[in-house]
Structure 1
Amino acid sequence: MAIDFLESKTKVNLMRAFAGESQARNRYTIAAEAAKDQGFYAVQQIFLFTAEQERAHARRFYDLLKNISGNTVEIAGGYPVDHYDSVIELLRAAEYNELEEYGDVYQVFGKEAKEEGLIEAASTFFQIAEIEAVHGRRFGKMAELLEKNKYFESDQNNRWMCLNCGYIHTGKMVPGVCPVCRQDRGYFIPAELAPYLGYNFVQ
């Protein structure tokens, strides 16, 4: 039997999750600006794409608090400061935070909600945790390719997609500008990252 929601740990955990997701959305929006300034337009798009998903997560957690509207929920928690100039550092920090949410934070929150009989909240924590794992892997893969200088070139023929117009390039290196839309090479995304954005390289 569920306990009184106002007396629950889950109420606090939902507000902490709402705060965390809201901050992640803003961090990724700021990171997107840094990526754009450095000519990584596809990285910018991935940060913005993920930021919008974080907004959806925050909304879901906030909706689960609707039945206590008018109350104030006090929370205490630590939240990361990831204000780096390097796009790689921004990606690695995002990877770490997403995987921490997946493997630690939301597992604890989900377990506590289940113990309190708040099954919908528990399910939400566990479901969103799985999405955060995808976010973490996506950021990690991008960072790895940049660290190895494999984001714009490869030892063998590879495929890249221009996110601006959809042109697919095959070769060992991305062209300096897209031959179709004439946008900078920063709009290209490697084939291995495309599925994370729902793109398909089937021609």
Structure 2
Amino acid sequence: MAVNFSESRTRENLMRAFAGESQARNRYTIAAERAEQEGMITVAAVFRYTADQERAHAERFYSLLKELAGETITVDGTYPVDLQDDLCGLLRAAEHNEHEEYADVYQAFGDTAKEEGFTEAASAFFQIAVIEHTHETRFAKLADLLESDNYYNPGMNAKWMCTNCGYIHEGTQAPPICPVCRHERGYFIPWSLACYKAD
């Protein structure tokens, strides 16, 4: 069914998604600061990396509202308050929110856009939902490793990469100090989570 965009639910859903992604970006930036305070530099980097991707999602949703430039769109919505006392709590909250976007929110928004005849918006919702699932999985893996105390001590031979200088350490636990650049353990990331690996 063809619907006038200026009267559509898709227009409102795009604005809700823009607001949600913008808030997620800020929540993750705040979480990154908390991770740094705890000396977990690599976890902070993951939060910031994800925050940048949320900004890209916000920009995509916002761009689809271009024909309404100069107008004001009033929407209501529910948004989480993720003030947690510990880093694992922040990761679990992020995992939960990403799951909701993936499994519920963007699927419903995409279905509505498709139903109203806005295929480009529908495609954006469905494609970004898949990315949110990747975010969910990444946050869950980090939380699992921290909660089980396996981030630096997996109980078996493993590899870590120093994100400051690129040194790759192999052993039963990450070193307390990088032997190359002398940065502390918080700069090491498990090899399984390292970006741009050659293997």
* Aligned residue number for residue 74 of structure 1: 74
Q: Choose which of 184, 194, 200 in structure 1 pairs with 2:197.
A: 200
Residue 129 (structure 1) aligned with residue 104 (structure 2) = no
Task: Please report how far the alpha carbon of residue 201 of structure 1 lies from its aligned counterpart in structure 2 after TM superposition.
Answer: 5.0
CA-to-aligned-CA distance 1:33-87 (integer Å, 9 cap, x gap): 0000000000000000000000000000000001001111111111000011300
Aligned-partner Cα distance in 1 for 2:55–2:165: 27
CA distance in 2, matches of 1:28, 1:12: 24
What residue in structure 2 maps to residue 110 of structure 1? 110
Contact 1:191-1:201 within 8 A present in 2 as well: no
RMSD of equivalent CA atoms: 0.9
Matches of 1:171 and 1:119 in 2, distance apart? 51
* Shift in Å, 1:88: 0.3
**Paired AA for residue 191 in structure 1:** W
Q: CA offset at residue 192 of structure 1?
A: 2.0
Q: Secondary structure at the match of 2:155?
A: strand
Find out whether 1:180 has 2:180 as its counterpart.
yes
> Partner of 1:166 in structure 2?
166
Number of corresponding residues: 199
Shift of 1:154: 1.4
Structure 2 gap segments, 5+ residues each: none
- 1:94 and 2:91 matched: no
Q: TM-score if structure 1 supplies the norm length?
A: 0.96
> How much does 1:3 deviate?
1.3
Report the equivalent of 1:61: 61
Structure 2 partner of 1:49: 49
Q: Answer whether contact 1:165 1:180 (CA < 8 A) is retained.
A: yes
What CA distance in whole angstroms lies between the structure 2 residues aligned with 1:60 and 1:26?
A: 17
In structure 1, runs of 5+ residues without a counterpart are none
Q: Shift in Å at residue 2 of structure 1?
A: 3.2
- Looking at structure 1, the residues matched to 75 and 167 of structure 2 have their Cα atoms a distance apart, in angstroms, of 48
Contact 1:35 1:41 in 2 (8 A): yes
Are 2:189 and 1:189 aligned?
yes
2:148 matches 1:148:
yes
Using the size of structure 2 for normalisation, the TM-score is 0.98
SS of 2:16's equivalent in the other structure is helix
SS of 2:158 mapped into structure 1: strand
Cα deviations across residues 151-186 of structure 1 (Å, max 9, x unaligned)? 011111001111111111100111001111110100
**CA distance in 2: counterparts of 1:144 and 1:55, whole angstroms:** 26
For 1:8-47, list aligned pairs within 5 A.
Answer: 8-47=8-47
